Structure 1
Amino acid sequence: MPRLRIQLRGWGHRTLILTDTPAPDCPRCDGDGGFAYDYGDHEGEYAGTEWDPCTCWDETRRWTLLRLPRIRRRRRGVRDPWSIEPPF
């Protein structure tokens, strides 16, 4: 049974998408969706972290639900902050 979640993605073109999530009761990854392990360089120093996804989750599985319109902000005239005039 799929475990679906709604997410909001993007900055320029915001989109609502439906994504798959890891199985919370998976005995291999304990619901984390994969396995992270650190690795080192040839001198034994920390060089980064690798991520191997678990088979209980397909992180590429997603569907676009709705593309949200871009809301343009109205430009306001420059106002003098020291003015005693009302803003209207």
Structure 2
Amino acid sequence: MVLADTPDPRCADCGGAGGHRYDYGDHETGEYAGTDWDPCPCWDENRRFVLLPLPRLPRRLRRRTPGRDPWSTSRYSDEPPF
């Protein structure tokens, strides 16, 4: 589980949007060339915290896969549970 930062909804600069976007054009033709994004200081896009790292089971508790030999005895039954 990861906790991510969100913009401040009471920010007077961006109004809770997290930044400002603006369209820009080509210098030679004046045509639309794209949209750029300036993040607001109230929000850091890269700020993330891992809350619950996934636990790793100890080696002795990890499930062992049975061998490929059909005559070998395995710990797990092939019979259905009913």
TM-score (norm 1): 0.55
Call closer, same or farther: CA 1:67–1:46 in 2, change over 3 Å. farther
Q: How does 1:8-19 map to 2 (within 5 A)?
A: 16-19=1-4
Q: Which residue of 2 aligns with 1:82?
A: none
Call closer, same or farther: CA 1:47–1:67 in 2, change over 3 Å. farther
Query: Of the candidates 32, 38, 43, which is equivalent to residue 46 of structure 1?
Result: 32
Q: Distance in 2 between matches of 1:46 and 1:65?
A: 42
Cα-Cα RMSD: 1.4
Q: Which residue of 1 aligns with 2:42?
A: 56
Structure ranking higher in strand proportion: 1
Q: Distance in 1 between matches of 2:53 and 2:31?
A: 45
Rg comparison, structure with higher value: 2
| Residue-pair matches, total | 53
Q: Which residue of 1 aligns with 2:7?
A: 22
Identity %: 66
* Unpaired runs of at least 5, structure 1: 1-15, 69-88
Moved more, 21-30 or 57-66: 57-66
TM-score (norm 2): 0.59
